[in-house]
A and B are shown apart, each in its own frame.
Chain A
Amino acid sequence: KNQVEQSPQSLIILEGKNCTLQCNYTVSPFSNLRWYKQDTGRGPVSLTIMTFSENTKSNGRYTATLDADTKQSSLHITASQLSDSASYICVVTLPMDSNYQLIWGAGTKLIIKP
């Protein structure tokens, strides 16, 4: 069964600290893996998108890694800011000949404290 699991479920860190969020997936084959940031009450916003052949992708203070052998991805946030408080969702996209499928993780709720 295609699944995406994220850990931890929630995380609290102090402003300025770094953190790493984990994503394990069983989806195979897949087209790409995405990390989204979702603020409370808003739609998800894409942070990074990686194909299966990419190992890392950065977007400012966000760096995503992908290990296709172990089927693991991580999102590293550097020098956290209060505005980073949000849910971070890992999403795996099935190949483009699939009709629609995005396989979603449940997300990690990140809280940044001053």
Chain B
Amino acid sequence: DTGVSQNPRHKITKRGQNVTFRCDPISEHNRLYWYRQTLGQGPEFLTYFQNEAQLEKSRLLSDRFSAERPKGSFSTLEIQRTEQGDSAMYLCASSLSGQAYGYTFGSGTRLTVV
């Protein structure tokens, strides 16, 4: 197991286009989280899944954002009609529920909307 894997590492897109990111968590982790991080700031929570169920969504997750984890393994985060303000690092993390430890992050996907 190589940890949490995110693809792509970088994405440049034109405003108005749709983009999709993928996260593969640590295999035995049942929780998966998405965060957004802008320059000079700490990560901001977007949403999280326990197995395939999306249990919580932040107000930051507008209706242009949708996340799925159809089989309780990998997850996708889609942004529709991208805006320049969506430019950020999108981080995925995974953990085991009931465990305060073992919260592991991926390397992130850097999105640039031009």
| B100 in contact with A31 (CB, 8 Å) | yes
Is A102 touching B103 in the complex (CB atoms < 8 A)? Answer: yes
Asked whether A100 lies within 8 Å of B106 as measured between CB atoms, the reply is: no
> How many A residues touch B, CB cutoff 8 Å?
25
**Set of chain A residues within 8 Å of B45, measured between Cβ atoms:** 100-102
Partner of B103, one of A4, A41, A46: A46
Report the minimum CB–CB distance from B75 to chain A (whole Å).
14
B42 touches A104 (CB 8 A): yes
- The distance in angstroms between the C-alpha atoms of A32 and B100, with both chains bound, is 7
Number of A-B contacts (CB under 8 A): 58
Nearest-CB distance from A72 to chain B (Å)? 18
Q: Which residue of B is nearest A89, CB measured? A: B42
B4, closest chain A residue (CB) = A43
Q: How far, in whole Å, are A91 and B95 apart by their CA atoms in the complex?
A: 15
Q: Which residues does B use to contact A, with CB under 8 Å? A: 4, 6, 31, 33, 40-45, 48, 55-56, 89, 91, 93, 98-101, 103-108, 110
Given contacts A43-B106, A93-B103, 18 further A-B contacts (CB under 8 A): A4-B42, A34-B103, A41-B110, A43-B91, A43-B105, A43-B108, A46-B103, A96-B99, A96-B100, A99-B48, A99-B55, A100-B55, A100-B56, A102-B43, A105-B42, A106-B40, A106-B41, A106-B42
